[in-house]
Structure 1
Amino acid sequence: MILSIEDTDRVIEMAWEDRTTFESIKFQFGLKEQDVITLMRKHIKPSSFKMWRKRVQGRATKHEKLRVFEKGRFKCSRQKQITNNNISKR
């Protein structure tokens, strides 16, 4: 799969975030975990890739099956409420 520069940047950003799962990346961009790893290896510095892999490997927050959520909770408690595409104040 060929991604645009903007999509590649977004995948890297999502992969770097601890709370974004590989399943979310697959849903949005169609990339499996191994594809994301390959993309990261290709597009970031080797030292950054090693640091990212060490941090991500085995991390429960990067895999939907390993995550534990309160029932009915789908977002971080610090995330602002979104109403009709406008960010409302707390």
Structure 2
Amino acid sequence: MAWEDRTSFEAIRTQFGLTPGEVIKLMRAQMTPSSFKMWRKRTSGRTTKHDARFSAAVGSKARRFRAKHQRD
């Protein structure tokens, strides 16, 4: 979920109870150094990774994580 750009850190916290800092530590431990650097560069400042920034950018639309195979 952390690798996916559209999944926010808040959704990860809701499902797994991990803070953004814990997600970063987990990603650093599980990825190669170059992949981790690419991921951090991509996620730093990305509005979709933070619900508050996303809401400010597109309005107050509520959103939640849904897998493609999950029903509405």
Q: Is 1:56 aligned with 2:47?
A: no
Question: 2:71 aligned to 75, 82, 85, which one?
Answer: 82
Distance 1:56 1:82, change over 3 A: same
State the distance in 2 between where 1:41 and 1:55 align: 14
Unaligned runs of 5+ in 2: none
Query: TM-score, with normalisation over the residues of structure 1?
Result: 0.64
State the distance in 2 between where 1:48 and 1:81 align: 29
Larger Rg: 1
Unaligned runs of 5+ in 1: 1-13, 84-90
Structure with greater strand percent: 1
Partner of 1:86: none
Q: Which amino acid aligns with 2:48?
A: T
Alignment of structure 1 residues 29-44 onto 2, 5 Å: 29-44=16-31
Q: After the TM superposition, which segments of 4 or more aligned residues of structure 1 sit over 3 Å from their partners?
A: 68-75
State the distance in 1 between where 2:48 and 2:6 align: 5
Aligned positions, number: 67
Distance 1:72 1:21, change over 3 A: closer
State the distance in 2 between where 1:59 and 1:22 align: 11
Which of structures 1 and 2 has the larger relative contact order (alpha carbons within 8 angstroms, sep 6+)?
A: 2
Cα drift, residue 49 of structure 1: 0.1
* Superposition RMSD in Å: 2.3
